[in-house]
Structure 1
């Protein structure tokens, strides 16, 4: 049994298909299938239930795959530790970010981060918070940009930025002539929110509870851009984080909310990571870049 066998095992577990797993591992399907069979013979137990339609892990297979992930994670950590031993600013980092942050934050800061850390290559993943946490814990990601609070054992979080929420209304809405609104002004409003799984939805619901507003039951969006278009069409109002605001949205008025809660974004990583020094450099670069963005704005 070697690391390659464990990689094949995890690939089949992830794809639930021998052909797709073989493609992901850049080997032929017969080669991968043969190695999995040899691994099962070596361990003396079946790891997968097979039929002509699907591949499923057996109960013991699930446990073994979990341990295999940890072994591969530790092995990768050894390689990355060796690479960064001489210089933590050299190497690769896999970073995740949630959808209501990634398209508004990353394009602004990454060019400056790359100038500051040209030899630190970043691989980026955009996904919902629960998926990012799963990938972070499994070792698929080195770190993730997530909204606080994060209550998971074995994870450390370093705050990076804080941004406020704004009320977005159509230009002909009764509140559109205001320069700002208070929490009390939002009492009774019906707010369009994102669908389940978005951390911004939970934060928006907290604002609703504080203001005495409520969620619209007729519509849930999959993205902030959908919410923006719905507001511009006069179909409702919503909350948007400050970074998502656009000065050229002529059909929308964005109103700051006095004394409203804000969201805090942090870089979250495993406490046991071997890339801590590289992540410290990344955190410093992200903070510096965001300061420059704020000064320009």
Structure 2
């Protein structure tokens, strides 16, 4: 028994006439009879009483009819949902991204893409970089905006932005007017940073370690805007990507860090062995077409 047998059973149960049902279904009476036998065999009972003028649904048949109607509706609904997801004009893009790009790159890309494809939906996941890799591996995300680049043997990559890292300092700070700053000059400063489970926190710690010190952390947050405002309030300094925080008037001043390590690459990535949905493939093509 399959879904097709249940669909035929519903028509037969509604007409209670083998000839009429076969004509409505565009099949032969023998085919319809064989389908009915499969349904009855699956449930182990007769579902109709045979009468001179046709068939009459019995109590068992009425139970199966209710279940068959519900089942076929559920299957049709699932197919409609899958078709919608597979539609490049109205499907859903499952996109993961770093917390530190949530206020810049991500809204910019989504705004630009939705001008071209306004009916495409996005299922967004804001995650640390290691969780993003897991989401791509499991299929929970099809695409991700992350950095640094994951294993090139496993993941495709399109560079979106090479970010200069900056030391954000309070208004009037002794380093505020500098064109560049060596991070070692902030060794005695209190730092405001992300929590240790965030990938960019490890970037900060690695830079400080390379500069010869371990930062004294005054406060840990999960939000870049909070960090920016706390720096502006004079709580400490912070290492952040230049331009990562928008729309605030905290007064915090970004000073670019010296050194080749004081940058990070942000890109769009995807698992090479996974087939993207049409909507996700359309988004990837769109992103690749943009000038960096």
Q: Secondary structure at the match of 2:257?
A: strand
The equivalent residue for 1:234 is 234
The equivalent residue for 1:94 is 94
Q: Secondary structure at the match of 1:181?
A: coil
Deviations 1:32-72 (A, max 9, x none): xxxxxxxxxxxxxxxxxxxxxxxxxxxxxxxxxxxxxxxxx
Distance 2:262 2:268 in 1: 20
Q: What's the offset of the Cα at 1:242?
A: 1.7
Distance 1:111 1:239 in 2: 27
Distance change in 2, residues 1:166/1:189 (3 Å): same
Q: What's the offset of the Cα at 1:169?
A: 0.6
Q: Do 2:204 and 2:239's aligned partners in 1 also have CA atoms closer than 8 Å?
A: yes
Q: What's the offset of the Cα at 1:152?
A: 8.7
Q: Do 1:193 and 1:227's aligned partners in 2 also have CA atoms closer than 8 Å?
A: yes
Query: Which ranges of structure 1 fall in alignment gaps of 5 or more residues?
Result: 3-75, 292-297
**How many residues are matched?**
213
Q: What's the offset of the Cα at 1:277?
A: 6.8
Deviations 1:179-229 (A, max 9, x none): 332345445544332112211111112221232343224432222122112
The equivalent residue for 1:207 is 207
Q: What RMSD over aligned residues (CA atoms) do the two structures have, in Å?
A: 3.3
Q: Do 2:164 and 2:264's aligned partners in 1 also have CA atoms closer than 8 Å?
A: yes
Deviations 1:99-135 (A, max 9, x none): 1112222222211111233454322222233333322
Distance 1:249 1:96 in 2: 28
Distance 2:180 2:247 in 1: 16
After TM superposition, list the pairs within 5 Å mapping 1:12-27 onto structure 2: none
Distance change in 2, residues 1:290/1:215 (3 Å): farther
Q: Secondary structure at the match of 1:122?
A: strand
After TM superposition, list the pairs within 5 Å mapping 1:1-297 onto structure 2: 83=86, 91-151=91-151, 154-246=154-246, 249=249, 251-259=251-259, 260-275=261-276, 279=280, 281-287=282-288, 291=292
Distance 2:145 2:109 in 1: 13
Q: What's the offset of the Cα at 1:254?
A: 1.5
Q: What's the offset of the Cα at 1:97?
A: 1.0
TM-score, with structure 2 as normaliser: 0.61
Q: Do 2:93 and 2:122's aligned partners in 1 also have CA atoms closer than 8 Å?
A: yes
Distance change in 2, residues 1:169/1:144 (3 Å): same
The equivalent residue for 2:7 is none
Q: Do 2:104 and 2:246's aligned partners in 1 also have CA atoms closer than 8 Å?
A: no
Q: Do 2:95 and 2:122's aligned partners in 1 also have CA atoms closer than 8 Å?
A: yes
Distance 2:193 2:278 in 1: 38
Q: Secondary structure at the match of 1:100?
A: helix
Deviation larger for 282-291 or 235-244: 282-291
Q: Do 2:156 and 2:271's aligned partners in 1 also have CA atoms closer than 8 Å?
A: yes
Q: What's the offset of the Cα at 1:239?
A: 0.9
Q: Do 1:186 and 1:213's aligned partners in 2 also have CA atoms closer than 8 Å?
A: no
